[in-house]
């Protein structure tokens, strides 16, 4: 049982523990910092990787005084542990277990911020080890004061199969910044002679850039006028470039190197359609939030973690079944109607600004935490972030 009975008006001390601060987490952190009833710290447990820095990401851990870099030296580590012990609520992917012993964690309200565990479904030795690890960490070692922030629609079903955290799971995700642009300004940016389609991500197998290329090849054959910009680098990049040349797609498909996040957002702001082709290995997929925030009409695979939480088919985007044939059909549906592109893009934006944003997520999280700390029931009656899954 949690030993703090929180009364109305008290300050809630929240510590968010993650590997390092990034641009997807910063808006949520800022939202907590702006709340008068919240005292907030972020604990970074490892430095930003060289790979991310080379891709144009900045070392945000150094920029903000609310960040404690536990990896830096012993003094910072001691400071991080002290903040965790003082906190009423911890948000963690599991890193807190390395800093607090079982006794210290026992009566602490902890929200594990997790994507799906079994992204790869192939029944091999690696999969078996993953199952055993999950059973050990969650079925046997998860305490009753630990709750799950499900970053993706497929997290809760996995834990239910593991007989873990039943009745303690909530919708969650990632909450990138939402640029403020008026509808007229946004529409002006999307006024191109031909429809602009965008694909963005690392060019690796589970992101499936080839599927977007296959769709483009067929769309060109059918005579549609469009431009497909593909942003990203990776192991498949050279093969993608070669295929563009081989299929004479240079006038329709442009391969662009990886670029900093703000430059990708500029392309999103101009794009009419966004293709999100990843498979189930995409635990969440924050690029979906970003594309919706940029008023793109999205065509997204249903197996991506964020899709069932953020999209309603034919209401604020189009959901396809994962096959190239269905991706092609849904993209054609949009190419036939500029008005449909505009309507779905505008509704996607409304979803972001009214519900799936950092401010709403922070408010809902504090409401839920206060209810649990005060000994209330698990369902706080919320919609969107922190809504009860079971």
Q: Do domains 12-175+357-373 and 183-354 have the same CATH topology?
A: yes
Strands (E), 234-333: 253-256, 273-276, 297-301, 318-320
The CATH fold of domain 12-175+357-373: Rossmann fold (3.40.50)
Distance CA 176, CA 268 (A): 14
Q: What is the pLDDT of residue 1?
A: 43
Q: Dihedral sign, CA of 250, 251, 256, 261?
A: negative
Q: What angle do CA 197, 361, 300 make, to 5 degrees?
A: 25
Q: Is 232 left (phi over 0), alpha (psi -120 to 50) or beta?
A: left
pLDDT along the chain (390 residues), means of 10: 55 96 95 97 94 80 96 97 96 91 86 88 70 74 81 95 92 94 88 95 97 98 97 96 96 94 95 97 96 98 98 98 98 98 97 97 97 92 96
Range 183-354 classified under CATH 3.90.79.10:
no
Q: What is the pLDDT of residue 121?
A: 65
Quick one: which of 45, 305, 338 has its CA closest to 156? 305
Mapping DSSP to helix (H, G, I), strand (E, B) and coil, where does residue 264 land?
A: helix
Kindly state the tokens that stand for 177. 């910044």
Q: What is the pLDDT of residue 53?
A: 78
Distance CA 296, CA 187 (A): 10
Q: What is the pLDDT of residue 217?
A: 98
The answer to whether 87 touches 15, Cβ cutoff 8 Å, is yes
Q: What is the pLDDT of residue 237?
A: 97
> Would you list the DSSP string of 215-248?
HHHHHHHTT--EEEEEE--STTHHHHHHHHHHTT
Q: What is the pLDDT of residue 2?
A: 52
Distance CA 7, CA 139 (A): 32
Domain assignments of the chain as residue spans, ordered by start: 12-175+357-373, 183-354
């Amino acid at each position: 049982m949690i030993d703090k009975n929180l009364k109305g008006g008290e300050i809630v001390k929240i510590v968010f523990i993650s590997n390092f601060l990034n641009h997807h987490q910063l808006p949520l952190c800022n939202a907590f910092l702006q709340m008068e009833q919240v005292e907030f710290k972020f604990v970074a447990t490892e430095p930003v990787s060289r790979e991310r820095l080379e891709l144009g990401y900045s070392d945000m851990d150094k920029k903000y005084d609310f960040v404690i870099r536990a990896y830096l030296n012993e003094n910072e580590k001691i400071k991080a542990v002290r903040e965790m012990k003082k906190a009423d609520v911890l948000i963690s992917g599991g890193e807190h277990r390395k800093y607090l012993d079982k006794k210290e964690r026992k009566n602490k309200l902890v929200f594990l911020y997790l994507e799906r565990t079994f992204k790869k479904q192939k029944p091999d030795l690696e999969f078996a080890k993953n199952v055993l690890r999950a059973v050990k960490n969650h079925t046997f070692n998860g305490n009753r004061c630990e709750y799950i922030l499900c970053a993706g629609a497929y997290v809760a079903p996995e834990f239910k199969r593991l007989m873990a955290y039943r009745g303690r799971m909530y919708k969650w995700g990632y909450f990138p910044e939402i640029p403020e642009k008026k509808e007229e300004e946004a529409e002006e940016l999307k006024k191109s002679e031909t429809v602009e389609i965008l694909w963005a991500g690392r060019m690796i197998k589970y992101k499936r850039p080839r599927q977007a290329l296959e769709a483009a090849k067929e769309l060109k054959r059918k005579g549609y006028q469009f431009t497909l910009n593909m942003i990203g680098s990776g192991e498949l990049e050279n093969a993608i470039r070669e295929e563009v040349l081989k299929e004479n797609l240079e006038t329709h498909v442009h391969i662009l190197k990886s670029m900093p996040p703000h430059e990708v957002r500029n392309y999103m702001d101009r794009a009419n359609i966004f293709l999100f082709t990843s498979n189930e290995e995409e635990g969440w997929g924050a690029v979906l939030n970003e594309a919706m925030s940029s008023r793109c009409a999205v065509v997204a695979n249903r197996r991506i973690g964020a899709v069932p939480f953020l999209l309603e088919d034919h209401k604020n985007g189009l959901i396809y079944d994962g096959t190239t044939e269905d991706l092609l059909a849904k993209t054609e549906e949009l190419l036939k109607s500029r008005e449909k592109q505009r309507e779905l893009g505008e509704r996607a934006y409304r979803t972001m600004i009214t519900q799936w944003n950092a401010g709403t997520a922070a408010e809902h999280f504090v409401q839920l935490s206060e209810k649990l700390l005060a000994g209330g029931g698990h369902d706080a009656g919320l919609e969107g972030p922190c809504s009860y899954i079971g």
